[in-house]
Amino acid sequence: MSVIKSFSVGNGDMYYIDHNSSNFTIIDCSLSDENAEKIIDELNEKSDGKEITRFISTHPDQDHISGLSLLDDKMGIINFYCVKNEATKEDTTDDFLHYCTLRNDSEKSFYIFRNCQRRWMNLDGKDQNGKYIGTSGINILWPILDNEFFIEELKKAKNEELCNNISPIIKYSVENGVAVTWMGDLETEFMELIKDEIELPLVDILFAPHHGRSTGKVPEKWLSEMNPKIIVIGEAPYEDLDYYSTYETITQNSAEDIVFDCIEGKVNIYISNPSYTVDFLDDEQLDDLDDCYYLGTLNL
């Protein structure tokens, strides 16, 4: 069993994966005075006893790194994954400076790119004490480092422009179970440029890029290839969202925190807003979790 949680953090993204191995993964960071203590306590509790804890940063815009310095102070980030970049900011924050410190730390950082391999991200093996550790099931589908359009986005990030389009495409999958994809804040205009450069695999759950905004609408070619059973739409303002009308969706603005309990052949889904409902999930009459309510089951 593995658990994926998408935190409701307002204008930002933050997730964790409690893997069905001795791995724990955090994707992005969006902490505030209101949520930091609760979220960090949960991360520490869920990662306790895991051999490997990693942090994956999709890109260094503030709504994806807010509270990074605090998170590092409270948890100790020793495995920091990001796309190799030289992003700069005209208006720097403490969190951006901390991002740069982690990004440039040769002992803590690992730069991700299409088909990269890393123990224990997607390679299993023994640690220095001879203990076997399974993989996390994470694979990187993008970027292709020598792609001309990606190189241009790296230049823009270096010149204090937005970093959205240096975001990687990340796939997490479980044997005989769920497949999930994240796309950071990739924008439609950029995705249209690269849509023929790669073919994306089938997925069950897609976290819509750019918080579900219409400016991050996934090209039809990729949607057809992935054919997601659920698209999770983030917490951008309602008027900015694309609701992917031909797909089943969960809208985080309304559902609030979302927990995906992933077991063989199915995903049990829980949310923190008891008033939110959907009509496309199976009702297997499961009990609620401590802080979330059973929404339904996606049978794969």
Rounded to an integer, what distance in angstroms lies between the CA atom of residue 288 and that of residue 270? Answer: 7
What CATH number corresponds to the domain at position 107? 3.60.15.10
Q: Which two tokens stand for residue 241?
A: 């969202």
Q: How far apart are the first and last CA of the chain?
A: 15
Partners of residue 146 on adjacent β-strands? none
Single pTM value for the model: 0.98
Residue 290 has a pLDDT of 85
- pLDDT computed for residue 1 by the predictor: 86
**What is the domain range of residue 68?**
2-299
- Average pLDDT of 68-76? 98
What is the reported pLDDT for 216? 98
Q: Kindly state the average pLDDT of the residues 252-270.
A: 98
Q: What are the tens digits of pLDDT across the range 115-129? A: 999 999 999 988 888
Peptide bond into 201 cis (omega under 30): no
**C-beta separation of 282 from 296 below 8 A:** yes
What digits encode the pLDDT tens for the residues 147-185?
999 999 999 999 998 899 999 999 999 999 999 999 999
SS3 297: strand
Q: Give the pLDDT band of residue 188 (cuts 50, 70, 90).
A: very high
Q: For 7-64, how does the pLDDT look when each residue is reduced to its tens digit (9 = 90+)? A: 999 999 999 999 999 999 999 999 999 999 999 999 999 999 999 999 999 999 999 9
Total tally of structural domains belonging to the chain = 1
